[in-house]
Amino acid sequence: MSDLDYRLVKGLQAELGRLRQGDIARRRAAGLPALVGADAHQHGRALVQRVVEGHESRRAEAGAEAMSWEERQDLVEALEARLFGAGSLQQLLDDDNVENIDINGCQRVFVEYADGTTAKVRPVAGSNEELIETVQTLAAHEGLSARAFDVANVRVNLRLPDGSRLYAVQSVTKEPVISIRRHRHRRVRLKDLIGLDTLDEELADFLAALVRARKNVMVAGGTSAGKTTLLRALAAEIGPEERLLTVERSLELGLDEDTDAHPNAIAFEERLANAEDAGAVTMAHLLRDTLRMNPSRVIVGEVLGDEVVSMLNAMTQGNDGSLSTIHANSSADVVHKIATYAIQAPERLPWEATVRLVASALDFIVFIRRVRGDQGQRRVIESIREVAGITEDGNLATNELWGPDPAGQPRRNHTVQVRCHDDLLAVGWRPDGEPDARLDRTWA
C-alpha cells in the first residue's frame, strides 16, 4: 500500500472510530446492551461500508475517477483489519499455510510456510512508522494489560487476536523488527498429532495415560519445535471437571477460551513494570498466587527464568498433573537448563538442591524436535524420559522409555521398565498398545 493510501486509511479509520463511538453512546443512552460476538462483528462491517461509501461520494463530488472494485475491496479489507484484526499484518495471518513471519523493516517481509519453505513477500506497511503504529495499537489492546512500545520500551511480547505470538523491537535496530510465531493448531488433540506424524497410537495412549494419572510433565524442545501445540494436546486430555490455572508471560495457550473442554479455567498473564518501574507482577508471583486459588492443575506456558523454582515448588505442594514447556536441545539437557534458571532465581539454588527439587517435583520429560527433509518438515516426539531419582554422584537419574533408533525414528525401549507402571494401568493404559475403553480413543 502506498504512503498516500496509508494516509487515506488512517483518515477513514479515524472516521470509523467516531461512528463507532457515537453508536455506542446512543445505545448506552437508550438503555440498550452493548453488541457482542457476531452481532458486534456484523455491525462493524456495516460501519466500514458506510465509511467507504462516504469516501466514494466525496470522490465523485470532487470529480475524481471512481475506484475500481479491487481498490474498493482493498480499502474495505484494510479498515476491517484495523477494526477486527491485526491491521496490515492481517493478510498474512489469514493464510493458513503461513507458520512464521519475520519483518525486518516495512519493506523486507519473509514468511516460513508449513512445509518448511521460505519466501520473501510484499511489504505489509507503507512505512516503518505505520509498522510501529500497528504494533502499538495491538500492544495497547491485546492481552490483560496494555503494553507500551516506544523508545523507552523498545521491546514488546504479545498475543495476536488469532492466537499467534508477536515479538517486536525498535530503536536498538536500524528499523523495527517483528517476529510472529503462528499457532496453526489452536484446538488440538493427540489424535490430531497422529495425523501429523508427530507420534503414533502407542505413544499417544501413553501420553494420555500420563495426564490422566496426574503425572507432572515437562515438554522440551527447540524454537518452533511444537512445544505449545503438544502442551495443548496434552491439556485436551484433562477432564472438564478440573479447575485449570494457566500462567504465561503473554497469553498464548488459550485453554480458558475453550469453555466446552475447560469450563473452569483461568488464564494469568505476567504484567510488566510501568514507566516508574512499579506495578510489575512476575510469573513467579503469579505461580505463588495460584496455590491459593484452589487449582486442580497449574499449567505454565513456558519457563524462561527464575519462575522455574516456584513452578517446581508448586508441583510438590499437591498440584499433581502440572504441565509446562522449556527450551532445550535434548531431553537429557533439561535438568541442566532448569539448574541454569534456578541459580539465577532469588533463592540461588545450587546444583544439588536443584536436582533434589527436580527429582521430587517432575515425573516425565517429553522432548519434541522439528525435523526437516526432502518432503518438507514435521514435528516428532523424539524422546520420553521418566525421572527416577538421584544417582550416587548427585545427578538426576532418568530412564529413557522412548528414544531415537539408529535411523533416527523414535522407538519404545522395552528393556526399560516404567516405574509408575501401576499408576498408568489404573487409568486404562495398556503396555501392549491396545487402548482401554476408558481412554475414550477414536483415532482418526
pLDDT in 10s for each residue of the chain, 444 residues? 444 466 787 788 778 878 877 887 788 788 887 665 567 778 888 888 999 999 999 989 998 888 888 888 888 877 876 666 566 677 788 788 888 899 999 889 999 888 878 899 988 887 888 888 888 877 766 655 667 888 888 988 887 877 788 899 999 999 999 999 887 666 889 999 998 889 999 999 999 999 999 999 999 998 888 899 999 999 999 999 999 999 988 788 888 888 899 999 999 988 877 667 777 888 888 888 888 888 999 998 888 887 888 888 888 877 789 999 999 998 888 888 888 888 888 878 888 888 998 999 999 999 999 887 766 788 899 999 999 999 988 888 999 999 988 877 788 998 899 999 999 999 989 886 444 444 444 443
Residue 176 is predicted with a pLDDT of 94
| Amino acid at the residue 234 | L
Q: Which grid coordinates are listed for 346?
A: 532469588
> Residue 207 to residues 128, 144, 427: CA-CA distances in angstroms?
46, 32, 12
Calpha distance 312→375 (Å, rounded): 40
**Those residues with Cβ within 8 angstroms of residue 366's Cβ, 6 or more apart along the chain or in another chain:** 207, 217, 218, 219, 220, 230, 331, 381, 383, 384
Q: Which grid coordinates are listed for 243?
A: 479447575
Q: Which grid coordinates are listed for 269?
A: 498473564
**Angle, CA of 54, 55 and 61, to the nearest 5°:** 90
| Amino acid at the residue 250 | S
> Residue 250 to residues 55, 157, 375, 444: CA-CA distances in angstroms?
38, 7, 34, 33
Residue 442 is predicted with a pLDDT of 42
**Those residues with Cβ within 8 angstroms of residue 59's Cβ, 6 or more apart along the chain or in another chain:** 65, 66, 67
Full set of structural domains in the chain with CATH: 1-82 (no CATH), 85-184 (3.30.450.90), 190-439 (3.40.50.300)
CB 76 within 8 A of CB 49: yes
DSSP per-residue letters across 125-138: -SSHHHHHHHHHHH
Calpha distance 270→250 (Å, rounded): 7
**At 303, is the secondary structure helix, strand, or coil?**
strand
CA 190 and chain centroid, separation: 17
Beta bridge partners of 155: 169
**pTM, whole model, 2 decimals?**
0.71
